[in-house]
Chains A and B, each alone.
Chain A
Amino acid sequence: MIKVEIDGKACEAPQGSTILDIAKANGIDIPTLCYDPRLSPYGACRLCLVEVEGARALLPACYAKADDGMVIQTTNEKLERIRKTLVELLVSDHPMECQGCSKSGRCELQRLADKYGVTESTFTGEVHEYDLHRENPFVMRDYNKCIMCGRCIRICREVQGIGVYDFINRGFKAVPGTPYDKPMQETPCEFCGQCISTCPTGAIKARPYEDRGRVAALDMLRNACAYFKMPEEDMMKALGLEGWVTRTTCAYCGCGCQLDIHVIDNKIVEITSPLMVGSGQGNLCVKGRFGYDFVSSSERLTKPLIRKKGKFEEAEWDEALDLVAKKLSETKKKSCPDSIGVFSSARATNEDNYLVQKFARAVIGTNNVDHCARL
């Protein structure tokens, strides 16, 4: 353990913690933009710069490891002036059209601009005018809103192990992109939407909502966030709309990622995952994030079906299970246990799959057991 002092407060932390880790653990707020706890630190936005006694330069709290005995200031006149300048610079190359931006209320830049009272930048000059990328059904990119935090690049590379993006060009012209600016479907992209989940601004958005599923009530909520300068969570609490979000576990696979299902008028409008919660830590795959159409699909089976006279008929669970048990017992007796095979699913948990093989081996008495994920 090491001991440090942050803003006059004595703090203890495990060796190897960053200054930001310790500050967070002690309820001290340091603004960040390029930081995401799921990713390796990067130190690019410079919002988290802090002053460390005896250090030659300001240090990025998200990156710098704390040393025993460090005396750290996270806020003072100089630091706040620098932070304000940084926000002004970012805003000077950003279309501040928060009303109408589907990131409003969750946008980290918007929150900082509000905090530092930056509505219009004191710096004027060239502003980027990139074309929108909307070449696939899942991810749309609007680099006019990009703040170059590199989070999309890192999450794709570090968490997904893919590496669809990197920066292209230098200086003011630097921007994230795909190899040779190819559409994402021509890259190894899996459309997991992880880049959407980490992008702090409206530069990467979920296209299903943006294009197909815009819901007036949700747009109003986001505009209200922009107008009243409130984060989405606070606004929902204030309006008593907590019921719009349901925390649940993804039903697709045994990873059991946590989902926040956003439901309005009994219709799913979006799925997100709470950061650093549960086994997924805020990460989702393409199925968990985008595969929600089935929930309200008219083709969805909600009851077991039994084929009677060549036609499927709806039945009750007890009836269906009894039928299956009967047929299995008959077959086992008539032929032999090995005439039965059991096929399980990756959508079941490990525990469920364990029970399936136990059932096959101990109850039925066969080793004919398999699983869809073995490929």
Chain B
Amino acid sequence: MSDNGNGHRYKVVLGYGTCGIAAGATAVKDALEEEVKKGSYDVDLDIAGCMGLCFIEPVVEIFDRQGGSVVYGDITAKKVPQLLEEHVGKGQVIEDWVVKKSEDPEACEGDFLANQLRVVLRNCGKINPESIEEYIQIGGYEAAKKALTSMTPEEVIDEVSTSGIRGRGGAGFPTGTKWGFARKSPGEEKYLICNADEGDPGAFMDRSVLEGDPHSVLEGMILAGFAIGARQGYIYCRAEYPLALKRLDIAIEECHQKGFLGEGIFGTDWSFEVKVKKGAGAFVCGEETAMMASIEGQRGMPNPRPPFPATHGLWGKPTNINNVETFAAIPWIIAEGGEKYAEIGTEKSKGTKVFCLAGKVRRTGLAEVPMGYTLRQVIFDVGGGIAEGREFKAVQMGGPSGGCLPAEKLDTQVDYDQITAAGAIIGSGGMIVADNRTCMVDLARYFLSFTQDESCGKCTPCRIGTKRMLEILERICEGKGEPEDIEKLQVLAGDIKDASLCALGGTAPNPVLTTLRYFKDEYEDHIFNHKCAAGSCPALITLRIDPETCTGCAACVKVCPTDAITGEKKEPHVIDAEACIRCKMCLSRCPSESIIAE
């Protein structure tokens, strides 16, 4: 927020999402409050959701009256007095701590933000998510008001169709078309559900949106409810997101007070209610039919489709389900017009997509980019490339349902069809980057162990099939792979994909299939040569210390749980291969990277 309302010269906004809090934002908040109480600073304190700069949390942004702002990263409670004294007191920017100055978006880590285009995240990190006033001040609820008072439901659907937006929950189904089905589905009583289950490992965009800008999700739901004819909405959010749940509760309460939810909203005769339903954190409950079963109070297990939710959904009534990110984009589309949204992106994939950069990338965090960016742009320009200067090896896109793309696919555009053709999916937008120390067999094993744990167990191919695939992968990683294992994996994967009841099982083999497609040599290396070239699989590696570079600092000695490392101070150390259990603790500690796993 640039306008600081009550005339103070500065406004200090602390990033207060789960990521910030995990990095110590609460201590920073206490310190800020204490300092401001003590001193006589001409300042307002406020909080905001995550800005996406997870790699450099806690983040503090200081706005001046003219609308300029400076973002500081890695702020600790200790730094707070100096920060206030210099910036707020003396008006001097502490250059060393700056992440991005608004006048100079190119500066240092500022590339991270400069290379993004923020539609869904437009307010995240900018407004106080616990204040409906701040949302209204920047034009919030105008879109809903406009639609309810001057548009027909069909016009709203047309606008969404024109935008070309496709569902951001994973499948990428055109949202306008989906709403059209739900609108036309016969029945008086209809339901709307916001899918905030977010179960993919490595995905956290929905949490950030709910924590940073809950009102845009609610406004999107009000618009959708009006468009399809649903007067009751549900938000299915996992209980592991306490802050998101708290902010949703506050936002819903505020909406009731303002008359944006409830009976006769915006002075019309339309009514709309939203209930939050807490999920117990099961990945499968992100699947539509399992989610509806869970909302109905049953065990979250999918049911075959057809019939589809649009005709037989929650409590057997027509139901429309969309993802958090989809809903958050809707107010922008109605306010700015579908055509404007459609100007962003590629031929068949319009608009922007939020990606969660994770893994071995330098800047982890949330990045929203226009569709059509190449993977290289996202990972290197926005993400800053590979951490610790290592080599890019692959990116796992779309979480456990997605696929793993190698370096030669880096110029693929982020577009539903192109990514699918390359063998992965956009999915919910997880991007887990692997470097040359990541073993692809182990990566596939990890994702499969996740899907196997999260399988609901209902259908045979997923319950037992993925278990048997996992066991084969575990064998291979232990160096006990058999020559026919690759073929076995391929055949079983095909049958599991064809026969599974829901997309959890139907996509579970994907990480295995794409790593087999692009990194078959690694599988063969494990099976035939009992080697893990990435130096990752404990059973297949030995660790040794390079005497040329070892400085004898003994950092490794301190962490080795079996005392396998010996050496004189300041002299090259050695690892006793017999005693070493290959836990690789030493590897991560060695400052001179002298420990070699191969």
Q: Which of A57, A58, A166 has the most CB of B within 10 A?
A: A57
Interface residues of B in 292-307 (CB under 8 A from A): 299, 301, 303-304, 306-307
Q: Say yes or no for A63: interface residue by CB 8 A criterion.
A: yes
Whether B460 pairs with A43 at a CB distance below 8 angstroms is: no
Q: Say yes or no for A49: interface residue by CB 8 A criterion.
A: yes
Q: Say yes or no for A317: interface residue by CB 8 A criterion.
A: no
Whether A123 pairs with B495 at a CB distance below 8 angstroms is: no
If the complex has contacts A86-B460, A148-B458, are A44 and B498 also in contact, measured as CB distance less than 8 A? Answer: no
Q: Say yes or no for A307: interface residue by CB 8 A criterion.
A: no
Q: Which of B301, B452, B488 has the most CB of A within 10 A?
A: B301
If the complex has contacts A85-B492, A148-B458, are A126 and B304 also in contact, measured as CB distance less than 8 A? Answer: no
Whether B501 pairs with A44 at a CB distance below 8 angstroms is: yes
Stretch in B98-106, B226-234, B391-399, B465-473 with 4+ CB within 8 Å of A = B465-473
Whether A174 pairs with B463 at a CB distance below 8 angstroms is: yes
CB contacts (< 8 Å) of A90 on chain B: these are 460, 464
If the complex has contacts A44-B501, A85-B492, are A171 and B453 also in contact, measured as CB distance less than 8 A? Answer: yes
If the complex has contacts A89-B465, A123-B468, are A172 and B457 also in contact, measured as CB distance less than 8 A? Answer: yes
Q: How large is the interface on B (under 10, 10 to 19, 20 to 34, 35 or more residues)?
A: 20 to 34
Q: Mark B276-306, 1 if CB is under 8 A from A, else 0.
A: 0000001010000000000000010101101
Q: Say yes or no for A169: interface residue by CB 8 A criterion.
A: yes
Whether B499 pairs with A82 at a CB distance below 8 angstroms is: yes
Whether B460 pairs with A46 at a CB distance below 8 angstroms is: yes
Shortest distance between the CB of A353 and any CB in chain B (Å): 39
Nearest B residue to A55 via CB reads B306
Q: Say yes or no for B461: interface residue by CB 8 A criterion.
A: yes
CB contacts (< 8 Å) of A150 on chain B: these are 458
Shortest distance between the CB of B461 and any CB in chain A (Å): 6
Nearest B residue to A91 via CB reads B464
Q: Say yes or no for B80: interface residue by CB 8 A criterion.
A: no
Q: Say yes or no for A167: interface residue by CB 8 A criterion.
A: yes
Nearest A residue to B505 via CB reads A46
CB contacts (< 8 Å) of B453 on chain A: these are 170-171
Assembled-state Cα–Cα distance A172/B344 (Å) = 44
Name A43's contact: one of B299, B455, B465, B501 (CB within 8 Å). B501
If the complex has contacts A46-B501, A58-B499, are A174 and B465 also in contact, measured as CB distance less than 8 A? Answer: no
Assembled-state Cα–Cα distance A43/B306 (Å) = 11
Name B456's contact: one of A59, A122, A170 (CB within 8 Å). A170
Q: Mark A80-123, 1 if CB is under 8 A from B, else 0.
A: 01100110011011000000000000000000000000000011
Q: Say yes or no for A31: interface residue by CB 8 A criterion.
A: no
Whether B461 pairs with A148 at a CB distance below 8 angstroms is: no
Shortest distance between the CB of B291 and any CB in chain A (Å): 15
If the complex has contacts A58-B499, A81-B495, A86-B499, are A46 and B461 also in contact, measured as CB distance less than 8 A? Answer: yes
Assembled-state Cα–Cα distance A92/B468 (Å) = 9
Whether A89 pairs with B456 at a CB distance below 8 angstroms is: no
Whether A169 pairs with B457 at a CB distance below 8 angstroms is: yes
If the complex has contacts A92-B468, A123-B468, A125-B468, are A171 and B303 also in contact, measured as CB distance less than 8 A? Answer: no
Nearest A residue to B492 via CB reads A85
Name A92's contact: one of B464, B488, B501, B506 (CB within 8 Å). B464
We find that the number of chain A residues with CB closer than 8 angstroms to chain B is 37
Whether B463 pairs with A172 at a CB distance below 8 angstroms is: yes
Q: Say yes or no for A206: interface residue by CB 8 A criterion.
A: no
Assembled-state Cα–Cα distance A225/B453 (Å) = 38
Name B458's contact: one of A44, A86, A93 (CB within 8 Å). A44
Name B459's contact: one of A44, A59, A85 (CB within 8 Å). A44
Q: Say yes or no for B454: interface residue by CB 8 A criterion.
A: yes
Nearest B residue to A78 via CB reads B498
CB contacts (< 8 Å) of B506 on chain A: these are 57
Shortest distance between the CB of B3 and any CB in chain A (Å): 50
Shortest distance between the CB of A225 and any CB in chain B (Å): 24
Shortest distance between the CB of A116 and any CB in chain B (Å): 13
Whether A171 pairs with B457 at a CB distance below 8 angstroms is: yes
Whether B303 pairs with A172 at a CB distance below 8 angstroms is: no
Nearest B residue to A172 via CB reads B467
Q: Say yes or no for A30: interface residue by CB 8 A criterion.
A: no
Q: Mark B480-524, 1 if CB is under 8 A from A, else 0.
A: 000000001001100100111100001000000000000000000
Whether A174 pairs with B468 at a CB distance below 8 angstroms is: no
CB contacts (< 8 Å) of B456 on chain A: these are 170-171, 174
Nearest A residue to B457 via CB reads A174
Interface residues of B in 211-254 (CB under 8 A from A): none
CB contacts (< 8 Å) of A58 on chain B: these are 498-499
CB contacts (< 8 Å) of B468 on chain A: these are 89, 92, 123, 125
Whether A148 pairs with B299 at a CB distance below 8 angstroms is: no
Q: Say yes or no for A45: interface residue by CB 8 A criterion.
A: yes
Q: Say yes or no for A245: interface residue by CB 8 A criterion.
A: no
Shortest distance between the CB of B483 and any CB in chain A (Å): 15
Name B452's contact: one of A64, A166, A172 (CB within 8 Å). A172
CB contacts (< 8 Å) of B458 on chain A: these are 44, 148, 150, 167, 174
CB contacts (< 8 Å) of A86 on chain B: these are 460-461, 495, 499
Assembled-state Cα–Cα distance A294/B85 (Å) = 94
Q: Say yes or no for A60: interface residue by CB 8 A criterion.
A: yes
CB contacts (< 8 Å) of B500 on chain A: these are 46
CB contacts (< 8 Å) of A166 on chain B: these are 299
Interface residues of B in 423-463 (CB under 8 A from A): 452-461, 463
Nearest B residue to A125 via CB reads B471
Interface residues of B in 520-537 (CB under 8 A from A): none
Instruction: Give 18 CB contacts A-B under 8 Å.
Output: A44-B458, A47-B460, A49-B498, A59-B304, A65-B307, A78-B498, A82-B498, A85-B461, A89-B461, A89-B464, A122-B488, A148-B458, A167-B299, A167-B457, A170-B455, A174-B456, A174-B457, A174-B458
Binding site for B on A (CB under 8 A): 43-47, 49, 57-60, 63-65, 78, 81-82, 85-86, 89-90, 92-93, 122-123, 125-126, 147-148, 150, 166-167, 169-174
Binding site for A on B (CB under 8 A): 282, 284, 299, 301, 303-304, 306-307, 452-461, 463-468, 471, 488, 491-492, 495, 498-501, 506
Known: A57-B506, A125-B468, A173-B457. 5 other contacts (CB 8 A): A43-B459, A59-B304, A60-B304, A170-B456, A172-B452
Question: Lowest 6 CB-CB distances: which A-B pairs, in order?
Answer: A174-B457, A43-B304, A125-B471, A89-B464, A171-B455, A172-B467
